[in-house]
Structure 1
Amino acid sequence: MSDITVIGGIAADIEGHPYDVLKPGESNPGKISISYGGVGRNITENLARMGASISFVSAAGNDFVGRMAVQELAALGVGVENVHLIEGENTAMYLSILNSIGDMEMALCNMDVLERISVEIINKALPLLKRSKIVGIDANLIEEVQTYIMDKLQEVPLFLDPVSAPKAERSKKYIGRFHTIKPNIGEAQVLSDIEIADEKDLSEAGKYFISKGVKRVFITLNARGVYYKDEAEEGIIRPGKTKIVSATGAGDAFSAAILDSFVKGRDIKETALYGMAASGVAMESKTAVNPNMSIKNIEEKKHWIYQLD
């Protein structure tokens, strides 16, 4: 059995970049890339690269993309027995067409299969989930499934990555049932109904979450670092200057670091520092998960943080 189990989405990101000015209604020569994504999947891959004992629960289409995504995670040592490949469904995909200067011109997304992560799938994974030291979920899960997990795993600490402000609404009524949460500012505003404009507002939001029953709160501040709070202390950790290849996936690396830190018994400030360093490693890669993610590289990245409040 794994120490950590993550329940969440798998997706494929397909991006087209034309060599010249994009011409509507024509076949435009260009470069096309594909990579795997999905918040739950990204958190899981990061944890595997950190050397964690990790399993994943999810649903994807029984298509080439879904099968390859599962094979890639299995090759990293992830327990994938509870990733269900569903006949007749497409694996979740996000297709974007950029223009000649790299801005998105148009996009299509098909995330329907994520709604198929059902109570039945959770039931099949219950023996694994109940033996996990912590279970992480992303808010791609519908409300019914989230509440079912809460009811069945009352003795297991739960971690929430809200994914986005609209999806955070699914968890809002139940926020106190999570041991640890990691929203960004927009998601924290949705979850708390507190407008966050400064550090005083951050502190008020932190107090709100603790009063509801959350044990650990991490609110990410984009380039300004992370606010953290538990019942005993709060503070802000800020990053230093660094060359950023891509910020995509930095939050997923932070979530993975929180889960890994819980199992290893780090306190909240140590966890926040570890999460910031993991985010720094993530931003050195153009892919959502840096293939060079590792404990060694996270430890070396800690010099990037320059301020502890």
Structure 2
Amino acid sequence: MSSLLVVGSANADHVLTFDKLPQAGETLMCQQYHLELGGKGANQAVAASRLRNTQQTISFITALGDDGNASMMRNAWTADGIDLEGCYQIANQSTGTAMIFVNQQGENSIGVVPGANAYLSAEHFQQQQAKFEQASYMLIQLETSLESVQAALQLARQHQCINILNPAPAAVLSKEILSLVDIITPNETEALALTGVEVSDQLSASKAAAYFHQQGINKVVITLGSKGAYLSDQGKGQIIPAPRVNTIDTVAAGDTFNGALMVALDEGKSIQEAVIFANKASSIAVTRHGAQSSIPYREQLNN
């Protein structure tokens, strides 16, 4: 058995669907509302668990509030077979919450209230040190504090656990944090925030990737939405196209990509093969509504 670790956020997603996204100062009537289980960390843990093979186990380290949403999330993740030994409940705090506006083209705008996510800390990671020691890969994002992100990266590096940083939502990261990263997976917006390079084609993607390589990161995967992903492995770059699909909702597409990427790499696939696998998984997610409800199971990738 191989062990994979996801560290990060969990949110209750309030999803509102509109014909078009509201502009500043504009009030629109939404067409549909529903509550989804989300948060980038949770989405990636669910994606990894649904896409894994029978020889892989998925552990998730996160922080929840002491409310009904926390119980609902734990029950759902248990049903997906995720190890929740590292799931902490923070007293007198709400579980993280997100408000998600989606238009008819599948584009979205998201606002997040961190809640308990803000309390995930290095102390929690130390208590779960065995998970870092056992894991072959760790996947982490930026919906918890940068201090917690750095602590998790340091612990993964200490235990020779290969880490994947999905730098979302977009933020400016210190060179100290970037120096700890093995694989980084920004989208175009996040690449711009981190490198100052606006990614619009293969040439600009290679310039953004070069910045990450200069920080010591060997493998860079810049996700490009419907165009697929730009992969730069130790400076050798290529665009790996995604399957063409009818996009309905892009929520959790990037999270599905990242969870799939980790699973494929742990199986011994090359980085190119892993990106192809991840593109296929995320291309299914965008044809469905919702966050975790849109994430496919492994057998569905073969249909």
CA 1:16/1:266 → structure 2, altered by over 3 Å: closer, same or farther? closer
Structure-1-length-normalised TM-score: 0.83
Match in the other structure for 2:244? 241
Read off the aligned partner of 1:157 and give its amino acid letter.
I
| CA distance in structure 2 between the aligned counterparts of 1:48 and 1:288, rounded to whole angstroms | 15
TM-score by length of 2: 0.85
2:7/2:60 contact within 8 Å kept = yes
How many angstroms does 1:112 deviate by?
A: 2.9
The 8 Å contact of residues 282 and 289 in structure 1, kept in 2 or not, is answered as no
Are residue 85 (structure 1) and residue 89 (structure 2) matched?
yes
**What displacement does 1:144 show?**
1.7
Aligned to 1:56: 60
**Deviations along 1:58-111, whole A, 9 cap, x unmatched?**
001011101110111112110001111112110111246899x9999x997421
Is the alpha carbon distance of 1:292 and 1:110 closer, same or farther for their aligned partners in structure 2, counting shifts above 3 Å?
closer
Once the two structures are TM-superposed, the CA of residue 9 in structure 1 deviates from its matched residue by 0.4
Query: Which residue pairs with 2:147 in the alignment?
Result: 144
Name whichever of 70-79 and 284-293 sits farther off: 284-293
Conservation of the 8 A alpha-carbon contact between 1:67 and 1:85: no
Quick one: distance in 1 between partners of 2:101 and 2:188?
Answer: 28
Any idea what SS the aligned residue of 1:3 has? strand
Question: Which residue of structure 1 aligns with residue 35 of structure 2?
Answer: 34
Which of 159, 164, 167 aligns to 1:162? It is 167
Post-superposition offset of 1:148:
1.9
- Of structures 1 and 2, the larger Rg is shown by 1
Residue aligned with 2:292, SS: coil
- Matched residues in 1 for 2:101 and 2:260: separation? 32
How big is the shift at 1:16?
Answer: 5.2
The 1-side partners of 2:284 and 2:44 are apart by 14
The answer to whether residue 126 in structure 2 is matched with residue 126 in structure 1 is no
Contact 2:49/2:82 (<8 A) preserved: yes
In the alignment, the residues of structure 1 paired with residue 9 and residue 137 of structure 2 have an alpha-carbon distance, to the nearest angstrom, of 18
SS of the aligned residue for 1:81 comes to: coil
Cα displacement (A) at 1:121: 1.0
Counterpart-to-counterpart distance in 2, 1:124 and 1:161 = 23
Contact map agreement 1:185 1:221 (CA 8 A) in 2: yes
Q: 1:54 Cα shift?
A: 0.3
Asked if 1:199 corresponds to 2:202, the answer is yes
SS of residue matched to 1:274? helix
Q: Which letter does structure 1 place at the counterpart of 2:166? A: D
Q: Which residue of 2 aligns with 1:176?
A: 179
C-alpha displacement at 1:157, in angstroms? 1.2
Q: CA deviation at 1:240?
A: 4.3
Backbone CA RMSD of aligned residues:
2.8
Counterpart residue type for residue 183 of structure 1: P
Fraction of identical pairs, as percent:
24
CA–CA distance in structure 2, aligned partners of residues 172 and 252 of structure 1: 24
Instruction: For residue 158 of structure 1, report the CA deviation from its aligned partner.
Output: 1.1
Relative to structure 2, which stretch is displaced further, 291-300 or 123-132?
Answer: 291-300
**What one-letter code is carried by the residue in structure 1 that aligns with 2:177?**
Y
**What letter is aligned with 1:163?**
A
Instruction: Provide the C-alpha distance between the structure 1 equivalents of 2:32 and 2:202, rounded to a whole number of angstroms.
Output: 43
Q: Which one scores higher on RCO, CA 8 angstroms, separation ≥ 6?
A: 2
Number of positions where the alignment pairs a residue of Structure 1 with one of Structure 2: 287
Q: Deviations over 1:217-274 (max 9, x none)?
A: 1101122221001127321022343222212111111101111012111112111111
Q: Show structure 2 runs of 5+ residues with no match.
A: 19-28
Q: State the match for 1:68 in structure 2.
A: 72
